[in-house]
């Protein structure tokens, strides 16, 4: 016999009361095993969406989701530290960051996901590397961490199954935009990963999930609070996502840009954010005396990248997929690019085939967009501003429609704020 009735738990939160620890433990477990029906959890999620949860409730909800599955026991002789981004457009930072931090002496267990909608997925990007595989066993993850120092792979089925089930439900019941539910979803997976420390890249702006700095700050504080309550060392960087990060948006094209960074080049903003996150990760891992900029310049991070790919069956020397069709969008006049909206570029790349509308949809490895000019850069009439890449030329008109009004060329540059706005510890 169940110790609670789902309707009583729903009513309690509907009426604005705090859920008890026992209620939270039971409802998460009962939903995971099917004793609480989908419609009941939908009602509870909406009650949480409308009335919220306090910090203690959110921490307990997170713990219950962690306890619904496995927790990785990372037995390595290095400090373990992970990074999580709330998602954006052109956000390939995990690709150069994980091998860089590993080259600095930490172990980085990066369990990543796939893209959905206008935001890209790390696994989709890496799967454009011939032979690379996302799914690893726990034993393979452990062995690769010990040998290479970094692993980027899909989460195992046993990690936080309650979150996987609840996330799918929230997606179809308009209860995604709840800070307690977002924070517990992110942190349940990260805590189950087993790393000692975690750095969060919480983005705000048109291409981010959180559109305003205030909302991003509230989410960051919730995430840090949960991590601390679970004995983790956690910090969060608030970063601007109003303009695409770097010049590449898509899959193979973002891998190319990441390799350029690992070889000592790449766009300045990608390098800046990679180094900022690396320094924060190393500080939490007790390695603040290591200079990630020097390690990046030395080529050691690229060596770890190549070893990491090979360990998962990938060929770092193989040519990446190229698109069957390229369409250039040219500047209409001489001037300076004054605007390039991240959300519109993300939607356009998605429509070209770089993303998916449903989890089961395939993606095109070669699809994406190259931003030849970004805000503040000078162009002449006829210069390419955007390069649309796809294997399906019939997708170009819908991508162009998404970009309509999303970029502009004017007479003078518009000042942009800093990329990293604030750090919460």
CB of 19 within 8 A of CB of 13?
yes
Active-site residue (options: 92, 189, 247, 351):
189
What is the 3-state composition of the chain as percent helix, strand, coil, each rounded to the nearest 5? Answer: 45, 20, 40
Active-site residue (options: 13, 60, 83, 84):
84
Please confirm, yes or no, whether 171 is among the known catalytic residues.
Answer: no
Smallest CA-to-CA distance from 365 within 148, 88, 125, 200 is with 125
Long-range contacts of residues 264-269, Cβ cutoff 8 Å, at least 24 apart: 264/296, 264/297, 264/299, 266/96, 269/245, 269/419
Please confirm, yes or no, whether 147 is among the known catalytic residues.
Answer: no
Active-site residue (options: 12, 68, 185, 229):
185
Active-site residue (options: 125, 164, 170, 247):
170
Please confirm, yes or no, whether 163 is among the known catalytic residues.
Answer: yes
Task: State the SS3 of 76-87.
Answer: CCCCEEEEEECC
The number of helices, as runs of H, and strands, as runs of E, in the chain is 16, 13
The span from the CA of 362 to the CA of 168, in Å, is 18
Q: Alpha helices of 263-395 — where are they, by DSSP H?
A: 268-284, 292-298, 300-311, 342-349
Say which DSSP state 18 is in.
Answer: P
Please confirm, yes or no, whether 327 is among the known catalytic residues.
Answer: no
Burial class, 113, CB count within 10 angstroms (exposed 0-12 / middle 13-18 / buried 19+): middle
Active-site residue (options: 91, 163, 240, 269):
163
Mark residue 194 as left, alpha or beta (left: phi above 0; alpha: psi -120 to 50; beta: remaining): left
The span from the CA of 277 to the CA of 283, in Å, is 10
Instruction: Establish how many alpha carbons lie within 13 A of residue 6's alpha carbon, considering only the half-sphere containing its beta carbon.
Output: 17
State the virtual CA torsion across 42, 47, 207, 423 in degrees, nearest 10: -130
CB of 100 within 8 A of CB of 296?
yes
Please confirm, yes or no, whether 67 is among the known catalytic residues.
Answer: no
Which residues are annotated as catalytic? 84, 163, 170, 185, 189
């Amino acid at each position: 016999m169940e110790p609670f009735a789902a309707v009583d738990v729903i009513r309690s939160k509907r009426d604005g009361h705090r859920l008890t620890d026992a209620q939270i433990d039971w409802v998460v477990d009962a939903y995971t095993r099917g004793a609480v029906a989908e419609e009941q959890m939908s009602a509870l999620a909406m009650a949480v969406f409308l009335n919220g949860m306090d910090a203690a409730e959110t921490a307990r909800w997170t713990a219950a989701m962690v306890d619904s599955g496995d927790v990785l026991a990372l037995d390595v002789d290095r400090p373990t530290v992970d990074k999580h981004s709330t998602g954006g457009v052109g956000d390939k930072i995990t690709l150069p960051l994980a091998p860089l931090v590993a080259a600095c002496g930490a172990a980085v267990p990066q369990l990543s996901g796939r893209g959905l909608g206008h935001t890209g997925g790390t696994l989709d990007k890496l799967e454009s590397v011939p032979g690379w595989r996302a799914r690893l066993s726990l034993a393979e993850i452990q062995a690769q961490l010990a040998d290479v120092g970094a692993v980027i792979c899909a989460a195992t089925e046993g990690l936080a199954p309650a979150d996987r089930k609840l996330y799918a439900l929230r997606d179809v019941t308009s209860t995604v935009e709840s800070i307690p539910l977002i924070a517990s979803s992110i942190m349940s997976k990260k805590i189950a990963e087993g790393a000692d420390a975690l750095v969060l890249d919480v983005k705000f702006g048109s291409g981010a999930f959180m559109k305003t700095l205030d909302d991003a700050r509230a989410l960051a504080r919730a995430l840090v609070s949960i991590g601390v309550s679970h004995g983790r060392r956690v910090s969060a960087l608030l970063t601007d996502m109003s303009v695409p990060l770097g010049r590449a948006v898509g899959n193979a094209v973002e891998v190319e840009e990441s390799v350029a960074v690992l070889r000592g080049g790449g766009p300045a903003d990608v390098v800046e954010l990679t180094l900022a996150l690396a320094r924060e990760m190393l500080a939490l891992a007790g390695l603040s005396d290591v200079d990630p900029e020097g390690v990046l310049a030395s080529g050691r991070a690229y060596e770890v990248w190549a070893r990491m790919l090979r360990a998962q069956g990938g060929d770092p020397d193989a040519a990446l997929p190229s698109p069957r069709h390229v369409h250039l969008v040219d500047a209409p006049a001489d001037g300076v690019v004054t605007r390039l909206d991240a959300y519109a570029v993300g939607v356009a790349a998605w429509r070209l085939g770089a993303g998916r509308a449903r989890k089961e949809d395939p993606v095109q490895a070669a699809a994406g967009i190259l931003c030849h000019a970004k805000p503040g850069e000078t162009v002449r009439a006829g210069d390419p501003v955007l390069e649309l890449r796809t294997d399906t030329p019939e997708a170009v008109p819908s991508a162009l429609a998404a970009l309509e009004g999303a970029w502009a060329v004017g007479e003078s540059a518009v000042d942009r704020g800093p990329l990293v706005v604030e750090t919460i510890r």
